[in-house]
Amino acid sequence: MEAKLIITIGYSFSDEHINGIIMQALSNNPEKKILCVSPAPRGEDKKYAEDKKREDVRIKLNLNKGKQIEVKLEGAKDFMENSLNIEYLKSLFPSDDDAVF
């Protein structure tokens, strides 16, 4: 509940119990974020696919439109090996210079 960032990798948001826990964590603080890492759908425009995934997550978590949901369309292996680093995590919180990662 105290984490500033929740990272999901390949989670479908189909488990209502887990969704409830995530919703509770995010609703307590609008500064918290969730990062959804998911493979990019083939043949779809990347921006469209990101927006679609963001809206799907927003609906499943019953969140207001806002800046709590980040989407990274990338396979789990590529994300873990190439994207998951301090610089990327800091980029998710541009106004928080004091963030400790």
pLDDT tens per residue, range 23-79: 999 987 888 999 999 998 888 899 999 999 999 999 999 998 878 999 999 999 999
Give a yes or no: residue 99 inside a domain.
Answer: no
User: Containing domain of residue 60, as a range?
Assistant: 5-91
Residue 101 lies in a domain: no
Number of structural domains found in the chain: 1
> What single string gives the DSSP state of each residue in 40-51?
PPTTS-HHHHHH
Give the global pTM: 0.86
Q: What is the domain-level CATH number for residue 27?
A: 3.40.250
pLDDT tens, position by position, 80-96:
999 999 999 999 987 76
Instruction: Please tell me the predicted confidence (pLDDT) of residue 98.
Output: 57
Q: What is the mean pLDDT of the chain?
A: 90
Residue 16: is it exposed, middle or buried by C-beta count within 10 angstroms (0-12/13-18/19+)?
exposed
CA–CA separation, 78 and 86 (whole Å): 16
